[in-house]
Amino acid sequence: MSITPWMQQIVPKLKKYTLETLLAKKVRLDGRRLDEFRSIQVQPGYIERAEGSALVRLGNTMVLAGVKMDIVAPFPDTPNEGVLMVHAEFVPLASPTFEPGPPDENAIELARLVDRSLREVRAVALDKLVLEPGKHVWRVFIDIYVLDHDGNLYDASMLASMAALMVTRIPAPVKTEEGYVVDRTRYTGLLPINHRVVSVTIAKLAGRLIVDPTFEEEQVADARLFIAVTDDGRIAGMQKTGMGAFTEQEVHQAVRIALAKSKILLSKLAETVEPYRKKLEEELQKLAAAPATTTAPPAPSEREAVETVEEAGIALEQETAERGE
């Protein structure tokens, strides 16, 4: 059941007034233009133990995305495809408004938005993640961890997820009598990516459209429009969120802004994540060329790097039951 937010942080009336009057002069409280992003930092490979990861900072907002992979049975309706799953955690250390516990509707909405935006354009080439059709496929788990909430979690999470996927290395599958186990001391290649997808979320505040809202701006805004854009300029997903509305004209204007601003995020990926991906690719090629005895990179630690397929299979059954669509 969804309930009107009743424990929101209060924005003082004076601050709301200042925000709105400044906007009328086309300036924002932090000095940005209406269509300007805050500083964007992407740090790929932040978690070495994950198959892929990225830390994104959008002004004071900080989101970490980690990718883990395992081998499971595919869904019955897609026997020739790997499985993609997205989860988001709003960890309580990120904001005074976050509570410990299972994901609330906001976290679920965020995860599902990222999931759809990646899935519908086939950003990850899931058809190339099949070990044995109908029996064993790779499952790609994206876990979004919101570490500091200063607004626009959508765009930060989308960017972190995309960056993490781009630098994901596939561990080595080892065939056993029962099926497959994963050897995480070796990698066989990089995750195949078809498209880069980013999102631009536009908030409507005092009748004006602004890009990359801060937490305060979000509190005052009427509504937001999440727009996912692909590297070839198509719209990969959209969602109105918040208690207000948009006119048709505003929606079209928002789409134009999103298409233009997506280039900034895409070039950020090209500048910071693409070189890292190249570096990983070269390393993997070098290892593949070297004699087998020297290929093993230092194992991360004494903890088991191999997970049995059975465990993963049980987990998938639970996921499938939960998915229920």
Partner 1 sequence: MVVQGEKPQLIRKEVRDGKEVLVRHDGRLPDQLRPIRMEVSVLANADGSALVEYGGTRVLAAVYGPRESHPKFMALPDRALIRCRYHMAPFSTSERKSPAPTRREVELSKVIREALEVVVLTELFPRTTIDVYMEVLQSDGGTRTAAITAASLALADAGVPLRDLVAGVAVGKVDGVLVLDIDELEDNYAEADMPVAMAPSLGQIVLLQLNGVLTPEEFQKALELAKKGIMEIYQLQKKALRSKYAEARVEVTS
Binding mask 239-268 for partner 1 (x = CB under 8 A): xxxxxxxxxx--xx--xx--x---------
Q: How far is the CB of 39 from partner 1 (least distance, A)?
A: 28
Which of 15, 32, 112, 263 forms a contact with partner 1 (CB under 8 A)?
112
Using the minimum distance from each CB to partner 1, give the nearer residue, 222 or 281: 222
Among 1, 14, 289, 292, binds partner 1 (CB under 8 A): 1
Token pair in block for residue 132 = 């044995």
- For residues 199 and 219, the answer to whether their CB atoms sit within 8 Å is no
Of 162, 169, 156, 142, the closest CA to residue 66 belongs to 142
- Beta bridge pairs of residue 138: 71
Task: Give yes or no for residue 318 binding partner 1 (CB under 8 A).
Answer: no
CB of 7 to partner 1, least distance (A): 8
183 binds partner 1 (CB under 8 A): no
Structure tokens at 68: 């883990």
CA terminus-to-terminus distance, the chain = 18
Q: How far apart are CA 309 and CA 128, in angstroms?
A: 19
Q: How far is the CB of 121 from partner 1 (least distance, A)?
A: 5
Residues in the chain: 325
CA–CA distance, 167 with 249 (Å, rounded to integer)? 39
Stretch binding partner 1 (CB under 8 A), from 19-27, 55-63, 238-246, 281-289: 238-246
CB 235 within 8 A of CB 255: yes
Instruction: Rule CB under 8 A: say whether 10 interacts with partner 1.
Output: no
Contacts with partner 1 by CB under 8 A: the residue count is 45
Provide the residue type at 312 as one letter: A
The single residue listed with the structure tokens 């993490």 is: 164
Here's the x/- map for partner 1, 203-232, by CB under 8 A: it reads as --------------------x-x----x--
**Nearer to partner 1 by C-beta: 56 or 225?**
225
317 is a site residue for partner 1 (CB under 8 A): no
Residue closer to partner 1 by CB (options 32, 122) is 122
1 CA to centre of own chain: 25
CB nearer to partner 1: give 124 or 309.
124
The three-class DSSP label of residue 187 is strand
Q: Which of residues 139-178 bind partner 1 (CB under 8 A)?
A: none
Q: How far is the CB of 187 from partner 1 (least distance, A)?
A: 31
Nearer to partner 1, 3 or 292 (CB): 3
| Residue 135 lies near partner 1 (rule: CB under 8 A) | no
> Can you say whether the dihedral through the CA atoms of 155, 161, 198, 111 is positive or negative?
negative
**E strand or H helix that includes residue 87:** strand 83-90
**Measured between alpha carbons, how far is residue 178 from residues 4, 181, 184, 310, 318 in Å?**
50, 9, 19, 9, 21
Does position 236 interact with partner 1 (CB under 8 A)? The reply is yes
Distance CA 85, CA 104 (A): 17
What residues from 50 to 89 belong to the interface with partner 1 (CB under 8 A)?
76-77
- For 22, counting Cβ atoms within 10 Å of its Cβ (0-12 exposed, 13-18 middle, 19+ buried), the class is middle
When the beta carbons of 243 and 289 are compared against partner 1, the nearer one is: 243
Smallest gap, in angstroms, from Cβ of residue 260 to partner 1? Answer: 11
Positions that interact with partner 1 (CB under 8 A)? 1-4, 6, 76-77, 105-106, 108-109, 111-112, 116, 120-121, 223, 225, 230, 233-248, 251-252, 255-256, 259, 321-325
